[in-house]
């Protein structure tokens, strides 16, 4: 039996555009002969993918889902060539199936997700099938999976933005309609206003320092005493935190209260506590 190396599999993938596992099987069947392996894939209809493999994939959909218990969430981005296919319900069904595979397998990255199995087939095989059915080059761009005491998801614009928000909760069922309405509201907030982080404590130190440098330079131009300049810069940084961190932002549905005030109100009504921990926000076509 021929020794099938990783470089051989890579070469066949580049030649045909077929999936890694399919290439490996074809090489084994062809006893390591590249041309025969191509014929094997052509016979199976998989080498047809090669014609589409070089096309740009700038469209597609983002899919975000949670499990029944609302304690695990997955968001994936599946890219294709045209908006027409990206908005197609069949294409979205492929994305949802892949998201379900991610939810179950909890992969660390895209490669791990491609190897995940759902309903007897790998995600890589699902992507290949999508290419054949939809007739466009399709690429799995990225994935994120989160675990928490509570998770909520939101998809904006039919798949243009996908959001997962994680929470710490006490005395509240994360799967209850009342909590999930709140969770969805927060996820919608993330989609709409794109906060820098969940809380001011989570703002990267270099980001806060950079903002402070700008505000100090602005204050210096005022010509006022240094003590006043410092207060001006600190005040502007405080404004930055209130506008850029999720918990401190004005709640879109009621700008008279902050997001944290809204979650506190919901928590009180439900007889428990709600704390926003983090979020994932995927925008279609955005660099990972």
Residue 148 DSSP SS3: coil
pLDDT band at 231 (very low <50, low <70, confident <90, very high): very high
Among 147, 164, 194, give the residue marking a domain's end. 147
Please give the pLDDT value at position 1. 59
Distance CA 76, CA 22 (A): 23
Q: Please give the DSSP secondary-structure letter assigned to residue 73.
A: E
Q: Identify the weakest region by mean pLDDT among 45-59, 114-128, 155-169, 262-276.
A: 45-59
Q: Are 49 and 43 in contact (CB under 8 A)?
A: no
Residues 40, 109: one domain?
Answer: no
Residues 42, 66: one domain?
Answer: no
Q: What percent of the chain has pLDDT over 90?
A: 69
Higher-confidence residue of 39 and 240: namely 240
CA quadruple 8, 14, 20, 26: dihedral positive or negative?
negative
Residues 73, 105: one domain?
Answer: yes
* Domain of residue 37, CATH code: 1.10.8.10
Give per-residue pLDDT as tens, 187-222. Answer: 999 999 999 999 999 999 998 998 898 888 888 888
Give per-residue pLDDT as tens, 23-52. Answer: 888 899 999 888 888 878 876 766 554 445
Overall domain count for the chain: 2
Q: Please give the DSSP secondary-structure letter assigned to residue 253.
A: T
Q: 95 to each of 64, 79, 129, 279, how far by Cα in Å?
A: 9, 9, 12, 20
Please give the pLDDT value at position 287. 66
Q: Which long-range contacts (CB under 8 A, 24 or more apart) does 239-245 make?
A: 240/211, 240/215, 241/200, 241/203, 244/195, 244/196, 244/197, 244/203, 245/195, 245/196, 245/197, 245/198, 245/199, 245/200, 245/202, 245/203
Q: Are 116 and 101 in contact (CB under 8 A)?
A: yes
Residues 47, 78: one domain?
Answer: no
- Is the predicted pLDDT of residue 288 greater than 70, yes or no? no
The structure's pTM equals: 0.79
Distance CA 93, CA 248 (A): 36
Q: Which residues contact 212 (CB under 8 A, 6 or more apart)?
A: 233, 237
Looking at the DSSP bridge assignments, the partners of residue 143 are 76
Please give the pLDDT value at position 94. 97
Q: Are 179 and 100 in contact (CB under 8 A)?
A: no
Does some domain include residue 141?
A: yes
Q: Quote the domain boundaries for residue 26.
A: 6-51
pLDDT band at 60 (very low <50, low <70, confident <90, very high): very high
Q: Are 91 and 140 in contact (CB under 8 A)?
A: no
Does some domain include residue 184?
A: no
20-29 helix and 6-16 helix, angle to the nearest 10 degrees: 110
Does some domain include residue 137?
A: yes
Give per-residue pLDDT as tens, 141-194. Answer: 999 999 999 999 999 999 999 999 999 999 999 999 999 999 999 999 999 999
């Amino acid at each position: 039996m021929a020794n099938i190396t990783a470089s051989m599999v890579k070469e066949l993938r580049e030649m045909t555009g077929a999936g890694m596992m399919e290439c490996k099987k074809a090489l084994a069947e062809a006893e390591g002969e590249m041309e025969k392996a191509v014929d094997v894939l052509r016979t199976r209809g998989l080498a047809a993918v090669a014609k589409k493999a070089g096309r740009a994939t700038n469209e597609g959909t983002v899919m975000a889902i949670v499990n029944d218990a609302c304690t695990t969430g997955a968001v994936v981005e599946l890219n294709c060539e045209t908006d027409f296919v990206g908005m197609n319900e069949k294409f979205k069904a492929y994305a949802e199936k892949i998201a379900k595979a991610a939810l179950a397998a909890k992969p660390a990255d895209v490669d791990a997700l491609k190897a995940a199995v759902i309903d007897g087939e790998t995600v890589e095989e699902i992507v290949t099938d999508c290419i054949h059915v939809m007739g466009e080059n399709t690429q799995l761009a990225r994935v994120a999976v989160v675990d928490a005491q509570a998770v909520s998801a939101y998809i904006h614009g039919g798949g243009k933005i996908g959001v997962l928000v994680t929470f710490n909760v006490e005395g509240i069922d994360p799967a209850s309609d009342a909590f999930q309405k709140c969770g969805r509201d927060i996820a919608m907030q993330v989609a709409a206003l794109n906060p820098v982080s969940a809380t001011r404590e989570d703002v990267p130190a270099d980001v806060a320092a950079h903002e402070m440098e700008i505000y100090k330079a602005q204050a210096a131009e005022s010509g006022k005493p240094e003590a006043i300049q410092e207060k001006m810069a600190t005040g502007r940084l405080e404004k930055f935190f209130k506008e850029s961190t999720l918990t401190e932002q004005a709640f879109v549905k009621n700008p008279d209260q902050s997001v944290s005030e809204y979650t506190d109100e919901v928590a009180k009504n439900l007889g428990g506590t709600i704390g926003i921990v983090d979020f994932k926000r995927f925008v279609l076509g955005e660099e990972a």
